[in-house]
Amino acid sequence: MEVIISAVVKHGAEGVKEVDNLLTTFREMVNYAIKRGLERGYSLKKLHAECYQTLKSKYDFHSAFYSQAYRVAQSIIKSWKSHKGKEPVMRKKIVRLHKMTFKLDVERNVLILTIRPKERIEIPLELSDYHKELLSKGEVKEILLGERFVYIPIRVHVDLSDPRGFVAVDVNEDNITYVTSDGKAAKIY
């Protein structure tokens, strides 16, 4: 069975001009794609047709950033459609990075980010031994780069063929009771 474990890692790129510019510009690209998606439709095909060439001519980034921008816009629009409310807009400065645009160097504790073809930025990470162990066991397809943290979803294969024990959990209104296969039991209030 595969599970996804999210590692939240502090990075040292706070205040770095190129990273701040990327975060701000990505938010602008997503908001542009949201606006176009609300006007013309928000399927990936329509968003690509409406946004890709405009974003490519206006901004100078790796081409994978443009498709990620309208994918984020699509998810924001879908969420807004289900909840309604004020017109959707991306407020946080966060970038969704495709696997083509980054490399995690676990040995050096560095995220190598390709902003433009043949132009890279090295962002120092505060990886613990636990993070390094998770990264060595699993697979990373895309990550989120925020103003202070990097969010790394790690796909890990878990072998359930030989369990070491079992836990039964009973969730009630005022407590949670559990019992393990080795006889330990507890009640949490």
Virtual CA dihedral for 134, 131, 113, 47, nearest 10 degrees? 60
| The pLDDT of residue 16 | 84
Q: What is the structure's pLDDT at 106?
A: 93
Which tokens is 14 given? 């706070």
Q: Which residues of the chain have pLDDT under 50?
A: none
